[in-house]
Amino acid sequence: MDLCQALEESILAYYGALTARNITPQIHMPSVRVKCRLNKNALSRIFSNILGNAIKYSSGDLNITMTDDGEIIFSNTAPGLDQVQVGRFFDRYYTVEAARKPDGGIGLAIARSLTEAMGGSITARYVSGRLYIHIAFT
């Protein structure tokens, strides 16, 4: 499948919701199409969960970059986070608001499970008030 096309379709599906929150994504795609053997429905769910979180928690920006080898990096300003929270992002039922009120935050845990089931990896890091989510398939 065409990884670039799958990402483009997911961004397009969320574009209205992003712009409704005054988020205009900055998108950087490789000049060549990246082909992978992946499950399209699972990949769409991964992207949906990440984009949904960006809509909820971004401070108004979103950068999406795909490298020539297919690594995808989502990043946004997130000044209210810390390293401990980011370290728990992929824990089932964890949400940023977990300390204040419990709710069903399983989106990123599902993204991790689906990514790993297709032989990929997903990680999050927090640097200088900016959240980065990296996805790579081998």
Mean pLDDT of all residues belonging to the chain: 86
- Which range of 39-48, 87-96, 97-106 scores highest in mean pLDDT? It is 39-48
pLDDT higher than 80, residue 88: no
pLDDT higher than 90, residue 64: yes
Output the pLDDT for position 68: 93
pTM over 0.75: yes
Residue 31 DSSP code: S
- Residue given tokens 């000049």 in the structure block: 31
Domain extent listing, the chain: 3-137
CATH number of 3-137: 3.30.565.10
Percent over 70 (pLDDT), the chain:
87
Element containing residue 1 per DSSP (H, E): none
Q: For residue 97, what are its two tokens?
A: 């608001």
pLDDT higher than 50, residue 103: no
Q: In what order do the strands lie in the sheet with 72-77?
A: 26-28, 63-66, 72-77, 130-137, 120-127
Measured distance CA(88)–CA(81) in Å, rounded? 11
DSSP alpha helices (H): ranges in the chain? 3-20, 40-57, 83-87, 107-117
Q: Tell me the pLDDT band of 50, cut-offs 50, 70 and 90.
A: very high
Strand, helix or coil at 70? coil
Q: Which is it for strands 72-77 and 120-127: parallel, antiparallel or unpaired? A: unpaired
